[in-house]
Structure 1
Amino acid sequence: MLADAIATYLDHLAVERGTARNTLDGYTRDLRRYERHLAGLGVPTLEAVTEAHVSAFLAVLRTGSDDHPPLAASSAARALVAVRGLHRFAVREGLVAVDPAREVKPPAAPRRLPKALPVDDVLRLLETPSALRDRALLEVLYSTGARISEAVGLDLDDVDAVERTVLLDGKGGKQRLVPIGRPALDALDAYLVRARPGLAAGGRGSPAVFLNVRGGRLSRQTAWQTLKVAAERAGITATVSPHTLRHSFATHLIDGGADVRVVQELLGHASVTTTQIYTLVTVNTLREVYATAHPRAHG
């Protein structure tokens, strides 16, 4: 019987696997719901369950039923984990020969839209007085769309002030050449001439553009802390993350009419679909503006 198989599996989790009480309660709830779902379809035993039954259960979780309201993707995925665990256990214990849940994939969680700062906030961040190194770092991050790891990985030879480009070492060892704006080059020049030599004096001749107080390469953590402190000093109340200036760079480019494939190249994304999330941000902004500004936006 189905109920017996579920009880055996839950006992196994509690006794042999030492599963935490909260997790066990969640599994119990999800599997009882699964049992009711199968009973409603006239499926009495685990042997009779097919992949279609499992998929139907997942669909019901997402759309809701008399038994429960619709679940978020994360909650439906958790329930599917319990179901897949049950079927895997049944095969391993020889209770059934086939695992019908193996190919049923959890629903994808909705992609979180990256948080970009408004242009005015970025300008305020860049114009708030700060140390020459920190100002140059922030300018480079926003001007090039570099990841923090790429910015701190820059060596002196990677910056071409004449061609106005920087060479970034991206993910998977892939390099890309990206343009850099005049304000960022000016900030870099001021730092390289007036501040870097003092920092370099305490080190061992590191080729890094951005140095720490000991003359070594600046760490990602310190660079990230620099961004956080600068945002606080500029009075920016929005949450700032290591990727904030990268997100702002991409969003502002697309808002300004840049082609998504060009932005993909600048960001060093392997796939254009990763970049297209920024077009979503822009569409949402357009929708908000339309809703508040158009006389007949609301019927």
Structure 2
Amino acid sequence: MNNRPYLKGFAAYLKLERSLSENSIQAYTNDVEKLFQYFEAHDKEITLNAITLKDLRAFLVWLNELGAQASTQARVISGIKSFFNYLLQEELLTDDPSALLETPKIARKLPDTLNFHEIDALINAIDASKPEGMRNKAIMEVLYGCGLRVSELTELKISNIFEESEFIKVVGKGNKERLVPIGATALKLTKIYIEEVRVHATIKKGNEDYIFLNRFGAKLSRISIFNLIKSLAIAAGIKKTISPHTLRHSFATHLIEGGADLRAIQEMLGHASITTTEIYTHLDRDYLKTVITEFHPRA
């Protein structure tokens, strides 16, 4: 069966009606593609109306045999459920075979974090003598100081900086906007980069408002931020496997350890559910020991 028209329609639905980012749309359509690949691998010529819950469960067994982890299976199920929901809305199906499809239990993995000294070591590893030095310092301060996702950083615009109130407007998942406080250090370095470094760049048309630019005058890509942080970790002698998201984890964890309200952290991180934020309530043993020692009367 030719499923391409359905996937194109599904992608349009995700973009127009659910306002998802291009990365999310690609992930959802890739998940549905896996289902179609399963049918092809098993020589099953099957129409969408003929797909049953039994077929979907067999597909999950196939994924498991291929070595897909529970988290991957859960994400694929989410994509497939969204696909069938779209087909129902468009009246291309009368019943949803995925309605009773169970999501595998996922062990909640605690995110890796960096301590204050490791954050400082990363930033201090930046060579300020290089042309991109000030830009990179500003990037690191904003990532850690504001708890941004990497895509939120690359999309950050000059017009979304409110210097007097010390806030930035961030466009998160699903194009949802939120206001996030920006600390004095991050704001100062960003301002210096814009006014003293970026002002000399030849900016590519359409990129005039993006804050962080590459050497070609275009906005930075997500992969360039990943590469920057990996190189800084090596230079700083940090052995942990880290990414831009590690700075976001560290931002949230350090706020929790400092006594910040969980609802406030949820708002700053742009989490739709408080349960997502609660993963950051893990505290390291040394910190817990310090709390007991300082505050418990019998310590």
Give the TM-score normalised by structure 1. Answer: 0.61
Q: How far apart, CA to CA, are the structure 1 residues paired with 2:255 and 2:289? A: 21
User: Please, which runs of 5 or more residues in structure 1 have no aligned partner?
Assistant: 1-12, 18-22, 31-72, 79-101, 295-299
- How far does residue 188 in structure 1 lie from its aligned partner after superposition? 0.8
Matched, 1:203 2:204: yes
User: What's 1:252 paired with?
Assistant: 254
- Residues 169-213 of structure 1 show CA distances to partners (whole Å, capped at 9, x for unaligned) of 0001110001011111121122112211232x2533621100111
User: What's 1:118 paired with?
Assistant: 115
Is the 8 Å Cα contact of residues 126 and 136 (structure 2) preserved in structure 1? no
How many residues align? The count is: 207
Aligned to 2:172, which of 166, 170, 173?
A: 170
Change beyond 3 A, Cα 1:15–1:118: closer
User: What's 2:124 paired with?
Assistant: 127
Matched, 1:138 2:140: yes
User: What's 1:189 paired with?
Assistant: 191
3-state secondary structure, aligned to 2:165? coil
Matched, 1:234 2:228: no
3-state secondary structure, aligned to 1:110? coil
Aligned to 1:212, which of 210, 214, 221?
A: 214
- How far does residue 234 in structure 1 lie from its aligned partner after superposition? 1.6
User: What's 2:53 paired with?
Assistant: none
Q: Which structure has the larger Rg over C-alpha atoms? A: 1
- Residues 2-45 of structure 1 show CA distances to partners (whole Å, capped at 9, x for unaligned) of xxxxxxxxxxx99856xxxxx9xx98xx9xxxxxxxxxxxxxxx
Change beyond 3 A, Cα 1:104–1:140: closer
Q: How far apart, CA to CA, are the structure 2 residues paired with 1:230 and 1:287? A: 26
User: What's 2:24 paired with?
Assistant: none
User: What's 1:5 paired with?
Assistant: none
Q: How far apart, CA to CA, are the structure 2 residues paired with 1:164 and 1:14? A: 55
Is the 8 Å Cα contact of residues 143 and 244 (structure 2) preserved in structure 1? no
- How far does residue 103 in structure 1 lie from its aligned partner after superposition? 4.3
Q: How far apart, CA to CA, are the structure 2 residues paired with 1:266 and 1:14? A: 45
Is the 8 Å Cα contact of residues 202 and 213 (structure 1) preserved in structure 2? no
Amino acid across the alignment from 1:179? P
Is the 8 Å Cα contact of residues 145 and 267 (structure 1) preserved in structure 2? yes
Amino acid across the alignment from 1:203? K
User: Please, which runs of 5 or more residues in structure 2 have no aligned partner?
Assistant: 1-39, 45-57, 75-98, 128-132, 294-299
Amino acid across the alignment from 2:163? A
Matched, 1:157 2:154: no
Give the TM-score normalised by structure 2. Answer: 0.61
Q: More deviation in 202-211 or 167-176?
A: 202-211
Change beyond 3 A, Cα 1:106–1:137: closer
Q: How far apart, CA to CA, are the structure 2 residues paired with 1:106 and 1:175? A: 30
3-state secondary structure, aligned to 1:167? strand
Root-mean-square deviation (CA), in Å?
3.5
- Residues 50-93 of structure 1 show CA distances to partners (whole Å, capped at 9, x for unaligned) of xxxxxxxxxxxxxxxxxxxxxxx95xx99xxxxxxxxxxxxxxx
- How far does residue 129 in structure 1 lie from its aligned partner after superposition? 3.2
Identity %: 38
In the TM superposition, 1:59-74 aligns within 5 A as: 74=70
